[in-house]
């Protein structure tokens, strides 16, 4: 049997959330228990990505009988649901990445909510600059 699981790889840094204008859900000042300093704690809409690890393949065709598919960033809620789905999934043949995602979305009942980077304006005119 061939089995699948997710391997979470990020995003880790708060900078990624800031650079991509991810909405802040909550901000609050907290105090460090180490030194008593105050700091601003921010909670963002959560995103996750990484890879899908595949086990149980032929060792003649795959190193140690394993392979992997890259997994782009999506809402963490969908990533967690995909993780649970893959942990239960066993197949006789290797499913393509496209088949895994298609079957998961059918199971989920909606499309995965992938992260989409906002396009930057191509020129200063595209940015909506006030010409007057």
Rounded to whole angstroms, the maximal C-alpha distance in the chain is 69
> pLDDT exceeding 70 applies to what percent of the chain?
89
Q: Which helix (H) or strand (E) holds 88?
A: helix 76-88
- Rounded to whole angstroms, the Cα distance separating 79 from 71 reads 9
68/30: higher pLDDT? 68
pLDDT tens column, 79-113:
999 999 999 999 999 999 999 999 999 999 999 99
Q: How many CB atoms lie within 10 A of CB 103?
A: 14
Highest-confidence range of 51-55, 58-62, 121-125, by mean pLDDT? 51-55
pTM of the prediction? 0.80
88/13: higher pLDDT? 88
What pLDDT is attached to residue 4? 98
Per-residue burial over 50-82, b = 16 or more CB atoms within 10 Å of its CB, e = otherwise: bebbbebbeeeeeeeeebeeebebbbeebbebb
What's the distance, CA 126 to chain centroid? 30
Mean pLDDT of 50-76: 96
What pLDDT is attached to residue 55? 98
128/77: higher pLDDT? 77
Average pLDDT, the chain: 90
Tell me the Ramachandran region of residue 118: left when phi exceeds 0, alpha when psi lies from -120 to 50, beta otherwise.
beta
């Amino acid at each position: 049997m061939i089995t699948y699981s997710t391997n979470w790889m990020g995003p880790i840094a708060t900078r990624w959330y800031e650079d991509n204008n991810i909405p802040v859900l909550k901000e609050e000042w907290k105090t460090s228990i180490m030194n008593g300093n105050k700091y601003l704690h921010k909670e963002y809409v959560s995103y996750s990505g990484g890879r899908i690890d595949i086990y149980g393949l032929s060792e003649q065709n795959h190193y140690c009988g394993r392979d992997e598919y890259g997994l782009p960033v999506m809402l963490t809620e969908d990533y967690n649901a995909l993780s649970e789905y893959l942990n239960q999934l066993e197949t006789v043949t290797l499913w393509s990445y496209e088949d895994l995602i298609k079957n998961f979305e059918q199971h989920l009942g909606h499309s995965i909510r992938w992260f989409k980077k906002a396009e930057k304006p191509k020129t200063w005119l595209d940015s909506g600059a006030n010409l007057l």
